[in-house]
Chains A and B, each alone.
Chain A
Amino acid sequence: MSTTTSPALLVGSCFVDASQAQLHKKIPATLRAPLHGSNSWRVGIPLPEQLFMERRGWVQPVCLTVTTPEQIKNDSASYDRLFIPGEFCRQGDVLSAAAESGKTILLERGAFLAPSDIVRAVEKMGEARQRVVLVEAGSSFGYSDRVLDPRALEVMMRIGCPMALNLNALTSAIGAAYEHRPKWLSDSDFDIAFVRTALAFNIEHLILPTQRELSEEAVDLWLSARKENL
């Protein structure tokens, strides 16, 4: 995904499963597949390399989630894009290494970071900011919950980078179970609202949910709205 290619691109999930392959066949997509999720509670269950290579055949290009400078230096050559999770959006060494890699960088705003402050992270990328896609994944809203603040989208879009909306982060339970967390939070009921929001703001990319399929209605909404761009 260069930052100037099709705005209809969907970005695949962290742990891609077979059912999502059908979706990826419908539309240009990037497979986002680290061999394991370093901040996932499923760490230790990495996607088997053989399976990963098979899925790599389904979907091109491939995006690597990166969390250390060493990982970027050692592994980025084999991938097409780099994804920096929100928790790392201020880690200077990670940002510098990603900038030096020459790859397109998906930079996620940390849920703890004010939208206006993500510009500092972009500035840390130097000239590489031309290759940055900003990823919005919601803002901390109490424990184990996030909200999608339209003001954040507005502020981030003014920075001038292409944008992605991370449906995975916005609709997944965060971290360990929080006993006071209302049951209705963060479920697929909000897929349509988030996709509509992305379309309303002309956001170019979506990151798909990890643990489940995006509803067919949400997929159709996205595809039909983006059809002319495919």
Chain B
Amino acid sequence: MTFKHGWTGDIHPKLTLGQKPLTVIAGPCMFESRELGFEVATRLKTLCEELGFNYIFKSSYDKANRTSGNTARGPGLEKGLGWLADIQNSFQIPVLTDVHTPEQAREAASVVDIVQVPAFLCDQKNLLKACALSGKTIQIKKGQHASPEQLIACADYIAAEGNTKILLCERGSSFGYNNLVVDYRNLVLMRRSGYATVFDGTHAAQLPGAGAGQSSGLRDMVPSLCAAAVAVGIDALFMEVHTNPAKALSDASTQVDFTTAESILRRIKSLTL
């Protein structure tokens, strides 16, 4: 199996996307501490190995677009990339993080296996170009405001810069104020485009800004959203997992705990056989 422009899905010596088993991209929303990252990576790597999924660790060193300016943002670029490198080396797994400027893209690409373009910035050509020129695999989140065609055009823009290692990620579309819906037709269109297709099950459950100055969410919907995406057909499932979501410093309403993560993975296991 190859993706558009002949990309084989090679992300890491031990991981090729698109081949069974399904790939799971998961980790804490914010890289709150090195210990949190290691605990989540340990538990999820073990769980994915047991259930037969590929595993990629994700976390953010800087939540640069928080709803409110009075909230934590993370450890910052230097420390965060150091922790991501530690996890990458200790567990021999690929790691993903998001970038917000061309400068960050260049720096993050020196460490991570996948650079992620945030949804709000999915159209920003300077950022896309910097990611493309990094040579790393790129995940583009579909903006809540963007059509699937718009996202595919962004991927084409990156490919035209010579980097064809591209993942398209659906995370829900604006549906009035403070609400998102997942349009599952998008997964069909994205896959039909030939690019690797990812579904973000936890951000899709967000109620942006609905928590009086912070995003709220419908955590109990995450398992069903994920199951439906796997049923429709995706190449990877993305979700945010925390040791204690209620105490998480970001996205506390949508991150899932280990018990829920295990339940989700066991449920979708039956769908991927």
For the complex of A and B, the 10 pairs showing the least CB-CB separation, nearest first, are: A143-B147, A175-B150, A124-B69, A114-B177, A176-B153, A140-B174, A90-B65, A117-B209, A43-B125, A39-B123
Contact string, B134-155, partner A, CB cutoff 8 A, digits 1/0?
A: 0000000001111111101100
Within 8 Å CB of A40, what residues of B? 125
Tell whether, in the assembled complex, residue A110 and residue B149 are in contact, meaning their CB atoms are under 8 Å apart.
no
Q: How many A-B residue pairs have CB under 8 A?
A: 111
Q: Known contacts A90-B65, A111-B174, A114-B178; decide if A176 and B208 are in contact (CB<8 Å).
A: no
Tell whether, in the assembled complex, residue B67 and residue A175 are in contact, meaning their CB atoms are under 8 Å apart.
no
Tell whether, in the assembled complex, residue A92 and residue B65 are in contact, meaning their CB atoms are under 8 Å apart.
yes
Contact string, A177-199, partner B, CB cutoff 8 A, digits 1/0?
A: 11100000000000000000000
* A70 in contact (CB, < 8 A): yes
* A120 in contact (CB, < 8 A): yes
* Min CB–CB distance A122 → chain B (angstroms): 10
Q: Known contacts A92-B65, A92-B69, A178-B150; decide if A112 and B124 are in contact (CB<8 Å).
A: no
* A38 in contact (CB, < 8 A): yes
Tell whether, in the assembled complex, residue A38 and residue B124 are in contact, meaning their CB atoms are under 8 Å apart.
yes
What are 25 sample pairs from A and B whose C-beta atoms fall under 8 A apart?
Answer: A39-B123, A40-B125, A43-B126, A70-B103, A87-B123, A91-B65, A92-B73, A93-B64, A93-B100, A110-B145, A111-B145, A111-B174, A113-B208, A113-B209, A116-B177, A117-B208, A124-B69, A143-B146, A143-B150, A144-B149, A174-B150, A176-B150, A177-B149, A178-B149, A178-B150
Docked Cα-Cα span, A91 to B149, in Å, equals 25
Within 8 Å CB of B213, what residues of A? 120
* B121 in contact (CB, < 8 A): yes
Residues on B lying within 8 angstroms of A by beta carbon are 64-70, 73, 100-103, 120-121, 123-126, 143-150, 152-153, 173-174, 177-178, 208-210, 213
Extra contacts, 17 of them, besides A113-B208, A143-B147 (Cβ < 8 A), are A69-B101, A91-B120, A95-B69, A110-B120, A110-B145, A111-B174, A112-B143, A113-B209, A114-B177, A114-B178, A115-B177, A123-B69, A140-B144, A143-B173, A175-B150, A176-B152, A176-B153
Pick from A67, A112, A123: contact of B174, CB under 8 Å: A112
Docked Cα-Cα span, A123 to B174, in Å, equals 23
* A88 in contact (CB, < 8 A): yes
Within 8 A of B (CB), among A12-71: 38-41, 43-44, 67-70
Pick from A67, A88, A93, A144: contact of B147, CB under 8 Å: A144
Tell whether, in the assembled complex, residue A114 and residue B209 are in contact, meaning their CB atoms are under 8 Å apart.
yes
Main secondary structure of the interface of B (DSSP, over half): loop
Tell whether, in the assembled complex, residue B102 and residue A112 are in contact, meaning their CB atoms are under 8 Å apart.
no
Residue of B66, B68, B153 contacting most chain A CB atoms (<10 Å): B68
Tell whether, in the assembled complex, residue B100 and residue A91 are in contact, meaning their CB atoms are under 8 Å apart.
yes
Tell whether, in the assembled complex, residue A175 and residue B146 are in contact, meaning their CB atoms are under 8 Å apart.
yes
Closest to B123 in A: A39
Closest to A152 in B: B177
Tell whether, in the assembled complex, residue A178 and residue B67 are in contact, meaning their CB atoms are under 8 Å apart.
no
Within 8 Å CB of A95, what residues of B? 69
Tell whether, in the assembled complex, residue B67 and residue A120 are in contact, meaning their CB atoms are under 8 Å apart.
yes
Contact string, A65-80, partner B, CB cutoff 8 A, digits 1/0?
A: 0011110000000000
Tell whether, in the assembled complex, residue B149 and residue A179 are in contact, meaning their CB atoms are under 8 Å apart.
yes
Tell whether, in the assembled complex, residue B125 and residue A38 are in contact, meaning their CB atoms are under 8 Å apart.
yes
